[in-house]
Amino acid sequence: MVALIEPQIIYADDQLLILDKPAGWLTHLATPVGVNPSAPAITDWLLANHPLLAAIGPAERLQDGTTVLRAGILHRLDRETSGILAVAQTAPAFAWFTRAFRERTVEKIYRAIVVGVVKPDDGMIDWPIGRSRQDPRRRVASQKAAGVLRAAVTYFQVLERFAHHTYLELKPKTGRTHQLRVHLKALQHPILGDDLYAPQAPKLSTIARLALHAFALTVPYPQGARRRFAAPLPADFQLTLDYLRES
């Protein structure tokens, strides 16, 4: 179990609030199948600390029919993923940045430690993704997926290679559910600690969760400028890199 720490504000202006989300926090209250609903959510934290965000963004309806507030959150990170999370501060900002995410003018950069040694220095993964027929929590990059396959593209670059692992930079050009986890699993280099997609893969004692970090986000502002925000590697992620370098 990952010890929970509080989210940190990296940057704030009159349009955006940029958070560093710790691992272990849900993004929204709408909990996925199999996730403990008592896990802390960023929406709860935002509403407690920034109550005016209650009016920003449309409410979401859960499967049981209840509705929860969005609190300005513009995109999602999986519970075990740490890093950059953007929140709109006003309704016009929410509309603008939501459109930027939809039109893919926002650049996302992730860092991941994966199992095995990735041979190419860089490359593109262009495999459509659909829902698994066996497990509703999972997505698959396979023609055997249930329903419609949706286009998904991820660029990767090797940052460091170790004896049995690789440190990657990842740039998703689409935003499919679990896209990075699915693409790397299909590449036969699952993300270290991914119990959903690679439960049998070897683990390391230095990190007790998915070794995936939302490292940077570049967004276009309405005034025409583009701004880049970055979240430092969390302690468990850095400890794992140090361990691999010394091994």
Query: Could you identify the residue written with the tokens 């502002």?
Result: 221
State how far the Cα of 247 lies from the Cα of 138, in Å rounded to an integer: 33
Strand partners, 216: 109, 230
On whether the CB atoms of residues 210 and 149 are closer than 8 A, the answer is no
Judge whether 78 counts as a catalytic residue: yes
Set 78, 135, 194, 195: catalytic member: 78
Q: CA–CA separation, 215 vs 83, rounded Å? A: 6
Task: Report, as residue numbers or ranges, the catalytic residues.
Answer: 78
